[in-house]
């Protein structure tokens, strides 16, 4: 994966820019460098990079323009911010822009390499988290609109407002599932169902029905010797074993 990863370094310090790029190349990365935000944005419009390493204090980067425009041009690309002049404002902006790391100069190359490796080795996780963030922001906007509508109706003496739209509820459920899948992949286990996680009241009857079906197949296996029946029983038993694991993974 490292040998296929492209890193763009945008920094107005030639010594830092070129020495860091060479170290990354020695480690197997493909690396390009630019000296200001204008050139960096031009490169990003023409080519796909896996990681952007961007200085804060450089030409064309007022109000962290490079990070803001990069987030718009390539939403899924991880951004690592480096600066010799850390401040509360730039740190807050970095959080809002969802940068992968905010590093202070002078920094150790090993620290930068570790953060780049995390960005490169887990692109799917990064994209999944970005997708969840976007969907949750949309859900929050929809709920805020619903809340505002509810206040207007209450003040006007109108009937109670509608419940959240199904699309919003489904989006939240989808986000929960994606987060569970990410957690399971990190822990090396299987993704538990939302029914299990949320103690859904429909889950026990569903599980009992599966158990009864498995027992029926087991009791009739001597009369119906069929590979299909045996495969169906094994499938049901696997589902049951999974359903009986601890729900919270604690």
Judgement on whether residues 114 and 8 belong to the same structural domain of the protein: yes
Q: Are residues 22 and 57 in the same domain?
A: yes
Do 170 and 64 fall into the same domain?
Answer: no
Q: Pick from 103, 121, 139: which residue ends a domain?
A: 121
- Asked if residue 15 and residue 50 are part of one domain, the reply reads yes
Spatial contact of 181 and 191, defined as CB atoms under 8 Å apart: yes
Q: How far apart are CA 172 and CA 143, in angstroms?
A: 11
Q: In terms of domains, do 143 and 237 share one?
A: no
Q: What are phi and psi of 53, to 5 degrees?
A: -105, 115
Where among 121, 137, 156 does a domain terminate?
A: 121
* Residue 218 to residues 130, 205, 243, Cα–Cα distance (Å): 46, 20, 19
Quick one: pLDDT at residue 199?
A: 58
Q: For 67, list phi and psi in degrees, rounded to 5.
A: -65, -40
Cα-Cα-Cα-Cα torsion 91, 9, 61, 69, nearest 10 degrees, comes to -90
Q: Kindly state whether residue 250 falls inside one of the protein's structural domains.
A: no
Average pLDDT, the chain: 78
Does some domain include residue 179? yes
Both 167 and 109 in one domain: the answer is no
Do residue 111 and residue 23 come from a single domain? yes
Q: Is residue 180 situated within a structural domain?
A: yes
Report the C-alpha gap between 15 and 12 in whole angstroms: 9
3-state helix, strand, coil in the chain (%, to 5): 60, 10, 30
In a domain? residue 106: yes
Report yes or no: 90 and 64 within 8 Å, Cβ to Cβ.
yes
Residue 248 lies in a domain: no
Q: Are residues 10 and 109 both part of a single domain?
A: yes
Which of 83, 104, 64, 78 has its CA nearest to residue 6?
A: 78
Q: Is the same domain home to 6 and 114?
A: yes
- Alpha carbons 52 and 61: distance in angstroms, whole number: 14
pLDDT of residue 250: 35
| Domain total in the chain | 3
Per-residue pLDDT reduced to its tens digit, 156-203? 555 555 566 777 777 787 777 777 777 766 665 555 555 655 556 666
Q: In what order do the strands lie in the sheet with 51-55?
A: 30-34, 6-10, 51-55, 79-83, 101-104
The CATH number that applies at residue 19 is 3.40.50.2300
Asked, for residue 205, whether it belongs to a domain, the answer is yes
Please tell me whether residues 155 and 175 are part of one structural domain.
yes
Which residues constitute the domain of residue 170?
126-187
Q: Give me the residues of the chain with pLDDT under 70, please.
A: 1-3, 122-124, 126, 150-164, 184-207, 209, 217, 220-226, 228, 239-250
Q: What angle do CA 18, 56, 46 make, to 5 degrees?
A: 65
User: Distance (Å, rounded) from C-alpha 24 to C-alpha 109?
Assistant: 9
Contact residues for 28 (Cβ-Cβ < 8 A; gap 6+): 2, 3
Cα-to-chain-centroid distance, residue 102 = 18
pTM of the model: 0.52
């Amino acid at each position: 994966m490292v040998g296929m990863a492209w890193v763009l370094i945008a920094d107005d310090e030639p010594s830092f820019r070129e020495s860091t790029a060479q170290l990354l190349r020695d480690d197997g990365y493909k690396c390009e460098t630019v000296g200001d935000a204008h050139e960096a944005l031009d490169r990003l419009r023409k080519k796909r990079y896996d990681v952007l390493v961007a200085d804060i204090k450089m030409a064309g980067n007022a109000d962290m323009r490079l990070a803001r425009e990069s987030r718009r041009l390539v939403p899924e690309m991880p951004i690592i911010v480096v600066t010799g002049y850390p401040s509360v404002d730039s740190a807050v902006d970095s959080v809002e822009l969802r940068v992968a790391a905010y590093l202070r100069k002078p920094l150790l190359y090993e620290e930068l390499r570790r953060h780049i490796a995390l960005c490169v080795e887990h692109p799917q996780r990064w994209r999944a988290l970005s997708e969840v963030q976007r969907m949750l922001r949309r859900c929050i906007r929809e709920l805020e609109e619903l809340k505002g509508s509810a206040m207007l109706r209450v003040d006007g003496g109108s009937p109670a407002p509608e419940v959240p739209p199904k699309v919003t509820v489904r989006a939240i459920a989808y986000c929960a599932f994606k987060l569970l899948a990410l957690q399971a992949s990190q822990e090396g286990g299987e993704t538990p169902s939302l029914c299990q996680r949320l103690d859904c009241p429909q889950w026990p009857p569903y599980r009992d029905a599966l158990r009864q079906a498995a027992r029926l197949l087991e009791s009739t296996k001597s009369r119906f010797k069929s590979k299909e029946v045996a495969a169906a029983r094994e499938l049901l038993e696997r589902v049951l074993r999974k359903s009986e694991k601890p729900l919270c993974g604690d």
